[in-house]
């Protein structure tokens, strides 16, 4: 074994080794991105978003070098072990439904304006989503990119089955925003604002004579246009398109860092139990996730399954929608529902209050 390890490197082996070093560096940068505020330095965030890809490539090199009987496998292996906590964030195989008294359920869903701009071929998106909600009958329903206008009348439909609600629209004329519908009484509401943009709303609901603060967020997106998505799908870039995409990503990272600071302040000053959900536009290996998970528990890590991706565009491995809970809330069940009515999948959870 020792003599084989000292074999001279041929050209092919040298090329693979260089590639191995590159993906090791990328994986290490993704770890840094989970802790470093992007307002200080945003480059590591670009590697954090492709963490699953970097992890799988490093695993490939571990297996390849081990079979080739080269000690180079230790480089990727040690790098993976350093970030074992990120694997736990990203993958979960302990899904098991648990039972507690006084259960309640919640759905969170970015509905993408109910497809009014015909992003997909479904002409009855609002009807389909309404039927889905009726079938699941969640006690609390949280929508991001909720749209209500004279054409689709979405509010009147959902308010018929949910007597209590809190909705925040971007403007009075263009009624798009976040919505919380509840079967339980709502005794207080509020909103979080950054740069004149409402990025979160909250509602204090009375459940079993106790108050639970439900926070529904839609953190800053990257605001890609059709050309950006087309370039990413085809992997064809010119200099101007590449610069446009990286600038939008950087702006999104930095904006979310501000938003999560405000959100963390709300969490820290809330005395009641908390359920935080919505579209965070960031992966489990991100600064946003790290700040929130220090305060709350990710329901997926308790009862999720697999990689749990919630976004079905560009890289279909991205989990960017979450349900977080405080210590007083037990996660009983967690389901990602594979519906194609939006570019996001809805999440259904069953919870219990101590």
CATH code: domain of residue 193 = 3.60.10.10
CA count, 13 A, side-chain hemisphere, 308: 30
Which of the two residues, 224 and 21, has the higher pLDDT score? 21
Judgement on whether residues 12 and 150 belong to the same structural domain of the protein: no
What pLDDT shows up at residue 350?
A: 95
Judgement on whether residues 141 and 268 belong to the same structural domain of the protein: yes
Phi, psi for 239 (deg, rounded to 5): -60, -45
Q: What percent of the chain has pLDDT over 90?
A: 74
Mean per-residue pLDDT for 156-182? 90
> 77-83, long-range: CB within 8 Å, 24+ apart, which pairs?
79/24, 79/27, 79/28, 80/27, 80/55, 82/28, 82/31, 83/27, 83/30, 83/31
Residue 226 domain flag: yes
The predicted model scores a pTM of: 0.90
Residue 96 domain flag: no
Distance CA 284, CA 318 (A): 9
- Nearest CA to 110 out of 286, 319, 341 is that of 341
- The pLDDT tens digits for 174-184 are 789 999 999 99
Q: 339 pLDDT exceeds 50?
A: yes
Judgement on whether residues 58 and 200 belong to the same structural domain of the protein: no
Judgement on whether residues 171 and 316 belong to the same structural domain of the protein: yes
- Nearest CA to 215 out of 160, 295, 136, 286 is that of 295
Domain span holding position 165: 103-353
- Retrieve residue 59's tokens: 């695993």
Distance CA 288, CA 199 (A): 14
What's the number of domains the chain is made of? 2
- The pLDDT tens digits for 170-221 are 766 678 999 999 999 999 999 999 999 999 999 999 998 899 999 999 999 8
Judgement on whether residues 177 and 275 belong to the same structural domain of the protein: yes
Residue 2: band (very low, low, confident or very high) from pLDDT cuts 50, 70, 90: very low
Q: Comparing 156-165, 236-245, 260-269, 330-339, which segment has the lowest mean pLDDT?
A: 236-245
What pLDDT shows up at residue 352?
A: 94
- The pLDDT tens digits for 22-43 are 999 999 999 999 999 999 999 9
Judgement on whether residues 76 and 114 belong to the same structural domain of the protein: no
What pLDDT shows up at residue 8?
A: 76
Instruction: Find where tokens 């991205």 sit.
Output: 318
Question: 58, 90, 122: which is the final residue of a domain?
Answer: 90
What pLDDT shows up at residue 173?
A: 63
Which of the two residues, 247 and 95, has the higher pLDDT score? 247
Residue 98 domain flag: no
Residue 122: band (very low, low, confident or very high) from pLDDT cuts 50, 70, 90: confident
Contact yes or no for 143/114 (Cβ under 8 A):
no
Judgement on whether residues 118 and 245 belong to the same structural domain of the protein: yes
What pLDDT shows up at residue 241?
A: 66
């Amino acid at each position: 074994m020792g003599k084989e390890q000292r074999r001279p490197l041929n050209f092919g082996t040298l090329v693979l080794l260089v590639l191995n070093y590159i993906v090791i560096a990328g994986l290490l940068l993704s770890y840094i991105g989970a802790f470093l505020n992007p307002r200080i330095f945003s480059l590591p965030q670009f590697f954090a978003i492709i963490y699953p890809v970097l992890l799988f490539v490093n695993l490939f090199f571990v297996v390849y070098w081990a079979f080739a009987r080269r000690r180079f496998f230790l480089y990727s292996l040690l790098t993976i072990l350093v970030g074992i906590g990120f694997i736990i964030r990203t993958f979960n195989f302990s899904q098991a439904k648990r039972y507690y008294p006084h259960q309640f359920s919640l759905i969170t869903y970015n509905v993408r304006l109910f497809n009014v701009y015909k992003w997909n071929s479904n002409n009855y998106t609002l009807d389909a989503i309404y039927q889905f909600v009726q079938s699941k009958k969640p006690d609390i329903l949280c929508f991001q990119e909720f749209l209500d206008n004279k054409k689709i009348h979405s509010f009147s439909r959902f308010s018929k089955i949910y007597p209590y609600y809190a909705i925040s629209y971007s403007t009075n004329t263009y009624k798009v925003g976040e919505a919380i519908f509840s079967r339980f009484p709502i005794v207080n509401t509020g909103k979080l604002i950054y740069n004149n943009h409402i990025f979160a709303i909250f509602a204090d609901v009375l459940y079993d004579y106790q108050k639970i603060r439900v926070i529904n967020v839609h953190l800053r997106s990257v605001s890609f246009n059709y050309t950006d998505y087309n370039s990413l799908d085809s992997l064809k870039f010119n200099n101007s398109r590449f610069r446009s995409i990286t600038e939008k990503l950087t702006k999104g990272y930095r904006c979310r860092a501000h938003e999560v600071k405000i959100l963390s302040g709300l969490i820290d000053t809330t005395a009641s139990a908390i359920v935080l959900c919505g579209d965070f536009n960031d992966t489990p290996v991100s600064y946003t996730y790290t700040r929130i998970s220090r305060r709350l528990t990710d329901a997926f890590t308790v009862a999720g399954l697999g990689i749990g991706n919630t976004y079905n565009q560009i890289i279909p491995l991205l989990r960017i929608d979450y349900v977080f809970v405080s210590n007083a809330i037990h996660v009983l069940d967690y389901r990602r529902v594979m519906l194609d009515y939006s570019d996001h999948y809805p999440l259904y959870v069953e919870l219990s209050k101590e």
